[in-house]
């Protein structure tokens, strides 16, 4: 079961933030959910619902909600960041005045910052002067299923043994298994790259290429993930686990995946603009594709599937053209080539 009723602040009241706040409250913790909109806060406190996300799932009366970020940071030692990746730096800056070396921050956001190519943990470390201990929670978890208390599992990466053990106690339950890791880089890269591969899988489904093609894309996606991940300091074992192949399989096949659903529409012939209503949320893989393309070029890593998705999303290449280019590549040699770090340039 959970911890000894710790005070935990969840930053971001989207579907995943709300689901994790619900999980933490079920585990006996005192949870405050920070909401950007006052209407969401009122809905949670008066109707015990988050009608914008997970509208049909009741929330416990013990769950707190606030629009005062400074208050949540000040009152909670453990902070769970669930804002979209492109808002992470903005939120970190706002949190800074209240942050101390007693804080622990758990990062849920899956993405790589554009232009700087920083991981989310690097943004927090930079903006918060390396004061708090950092952890990353990732894995094959759809928010709705976690909120419904269906069996799920994830990996929690933290370099600090004491903080990692404490966090495992907070999140772990009979219905939500938490595995431990110290590989923050690998866990974050797996969570970002899988979004791009999931778009490719959706494109294949939209083009009706068959289950063989989907399986091959997922398998080769793991190879691309491992190549870039190890070049950046991640562990091969991480990409074979929950935050690597586990998260990829879910996102590349599940009908609750925004990235897969986007790819499916693209494969059916819709334009990128057609796939997103005005003001609607953009799948993380659209932004991730740019950052991953730049990282692959920086580290001189071959990632043909991710490159094909980047070209479809951002360079006007059609899905048919991208597929043909993939199929015309030279015959492959090794199935799971991972670069030898000892021979790579600095």
Name all domains of the chain by residue range, CATH numbers in brackets: 7-182 (3.40.50.720), 192-338 (1.10.1040.10)
Q: Active-site residue among 42, 94, 169, 194? A: 194
Q: What is the mean pLDDT of residues 54-68?
A: 96
Instruction: Encode pLDDT of 8-21 as tens digits.
Output: 999 999 999 999 99
Residue 266: the pLDDT is 97
pLDDT digits (tens, 9 = 90+) for 6-59: 899 999 999 999 999 999 999 999 999 999 999 999 999 999 999 999 999 999
Please give the C-alpha separations between residue 95 and each of 98, 137, 271, 321, in angstroms, as whole numbers: 6, 20, 38, 46
Question: Annotated catalytic, 194?
Answer: yes
Residue 268 pLDDT more than 60? yes
């Amino acid at each position: 079961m959970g911890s000894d009723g710790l005070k935990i602040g969840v930053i971001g009241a989207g579907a995943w933030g709300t689901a994790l706040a619900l999980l933490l409250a079920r585990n006996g913790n005192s949870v405050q959910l920070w909401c950007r909109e006052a209407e969401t806060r009122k809905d949670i406190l008066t109707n015990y619902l988050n009608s914008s996300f997970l509208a049909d799932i009741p929330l416990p009366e013990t769950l707190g909600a606030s629009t005062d970020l400074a208050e949540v940071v000040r009152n909670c030692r453990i902070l769970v960041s669930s804002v979209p990746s492109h808002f992470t730096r903005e939120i970190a800056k706002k949190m800074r005045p209240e942050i101390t070396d007693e804080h622990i921050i758990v990062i849920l956001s899956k993405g790589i910052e554009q232009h700087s190519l920083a991981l989310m943990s690097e943004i927090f470390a930079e903006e918060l002067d390396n004061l708090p201990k950092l952890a990353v929670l990732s894995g094959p978890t759809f928010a709705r299923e976690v909120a419904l208390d269906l069996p799920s599992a994830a990996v929690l990466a933290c370099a600090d043994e004491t903080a990692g053990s404490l966090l495992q106690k907070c999140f772990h339950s009979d219905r939500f298994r938490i595995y431990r890791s110290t590989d923050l880089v690998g866990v974050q890269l797996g969570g970002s790259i899988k979004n791009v591969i999931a778009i490719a899988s959706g494109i294949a489904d939209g083009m009706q290429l068959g289950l063989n093609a989907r399986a091959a894309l997922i398998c080769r996606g793991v190879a691309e993930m491992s190549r870039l991940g190890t070049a950046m300091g991640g562990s091969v074992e991480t990409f074979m686990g929950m935050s690597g192949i586990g998260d990829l399989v879910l996102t590349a096949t599940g009908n609750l995946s925004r990235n897969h659903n986007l790819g499916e529409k693209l494969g059916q012939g819709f334009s990128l603009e057609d796939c997103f209503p005005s003001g609607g949320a953009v799948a993380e893989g659209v932004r991730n594709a740019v950052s991953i393309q730049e990282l692959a070029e920086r580290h001189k890593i071959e990632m043909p599937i991710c490159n094909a998705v980047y070209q479809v999303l951002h360079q006007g290449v059609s899905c048919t053209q991208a597929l043909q280019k993939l199929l015309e590549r030279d015959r492959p040699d090794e199935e799971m080539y991972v670069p030898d770090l000892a021979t790579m340039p600095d």
